[in-house]
């Protein structure tokens, strides 16, 4: 992975196996002057290994540092993990951060996240076979690693949106608490398409990539703009 600072991030959600949409998205990267990509939500169509493989191959062809978390539909988790592992071996610019964290190549930005659906009930069910679903304790436990880098304000990726009382949007209370606890600079999430501030954190829900939606987030300016893909040639 080439060493450079992550400043402008191309954000997308729920490609659901639409390789053409991914290719059009990455084809606009130079024009949009982005230096990294974040993808959240359902990656594959039907959670199949073949669809995951095609999606990761398309993301790898973009040649940009790319970070992602899967959606509830990317089950069983074994298929997702195997294809993610193989893709990262071939394309070192690809970094899955599902339940973990990674530093950008320059060491200035920590990217972490948790995919799937997050249940605020601590006794909620956990599933990685039929769908990816995690109880609140697992979200808290998995993201503890972020606290080891308390000098960095992380970029957090979630398939489930954090709750936002000011906007009265549905979401996870525990994810909202973690965003505040770790003083995130940016959250990229699934859910209703929007941009705004969650406390001092820039919150971006880019909307469905399969429907042609994306966003560009600027870490320095703490602002984001929504965009639409042009029609396929």
For 104-129, how does the pLDDT look when each residue is reduced to its tens digit (9 = 90+)? 988 889 999 999 999 999 899 999 99
Residue 97, strand partner residues: none
pLDDT band for 167, please (50, 70, 90 cuts).
low
5 vs 130, more confident: 130
Buried b (16+ CB within 10 A) or exposed e, 60-93: bebebbbbbbbbbbbbebebbbebbeebbeebeb
State percent of the chain over pLDDT 70: 96
Query: What number is the average pLDDT over the span 80-107?
Result: 94
Domain locations in the chain as residue ranges = 8-228
What does the alpha-carbon distance between residue 87 and residue 178 come to, in Å, rounded to a whole number? 29
pLDDT at site 96: 96
Cis status of the peptide bond prior to 40, with omega within 30 of 0 = no
Helices (H) and strands (E) in the chain, counts: 6, 14
pLDDT at site 168: 64
pLDDT at site 1: 43
3 state SS for 28-87? CHHHHCCCEEEEEECCCCCCCHHHHHHHHHHHHCCCCCEEEEECCCCCCHHHHHHHHHHH
CATH of the domain spanning 8-228, picked from 3.60.21.10, 3.30.360.10, 3.40.50.1970, 3.30.70.20: 3.60.21.10
Reply yes or no on whether the pLDDT at 2 is more than 70: no
Give the tens place of pLDDT for each residue, 134-152: 999 999 999 999 999 989 9
Contact (CB, 8 A) for 133 and 127: yes
Tell me the average pLDDT of the chain: 93
pLDDT at site 233: 40
What does the alpha-carbon distance between residue 75 and residue 95 come to, in Å, rounded to a whole number? 19
**pTM of the predicted protein model:** 0.95
Query: What number is the average pLDDT over the span 85-93?
Result: 94
């Amino acid at each position: 992975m080439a060493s450079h600072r992550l400043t402008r991030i191309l954000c997308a959600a729920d490609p659901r196996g639409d390789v053409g949409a991914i290719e059009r998205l990455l084809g606009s990267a130079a024009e949009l002057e982005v230096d990294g990509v974040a993808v959240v939500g359902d990656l594959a169509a039907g959670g199949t290994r073949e669809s995951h493989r095609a999606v990761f191959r398309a993301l790898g062809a973009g040649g940009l540092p790319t970070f992602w978390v899967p959606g509830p539909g990317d089950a069983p988790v074994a298929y997702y993990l195997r294809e993610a592992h193989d893709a990262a071996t071939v394309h070192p610019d690809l970094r899955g951060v599902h339940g973990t964290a990674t530093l950008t190549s320059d060491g200035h930005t920590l990217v972490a996240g948790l995919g799937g659906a997050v249940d605020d009930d601590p006794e909620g069910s956990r599933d990685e076979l039929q769908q990816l679903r995690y109880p609140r304790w697992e979200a808290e436990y998995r993201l503890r690693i972020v606290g080891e880098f308390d000098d960095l304000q992380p970029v957090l990726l979630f398939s489930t949106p954090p709750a936002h009382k000011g906007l009265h949007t549905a979401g996870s209370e525990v994810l909202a608490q973690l965003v505040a606890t770790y003083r995130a600079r940016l959250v990229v999430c699934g859910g209703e398409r929007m941009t705004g501030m969650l406390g001092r954190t820039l919150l971006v829900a880019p909307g469905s990539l399969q429907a042609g939606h994306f966003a560009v987030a600027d870490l320095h300016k703490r602002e984001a703009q929504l965009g639409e893909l042009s029609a396929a040639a």
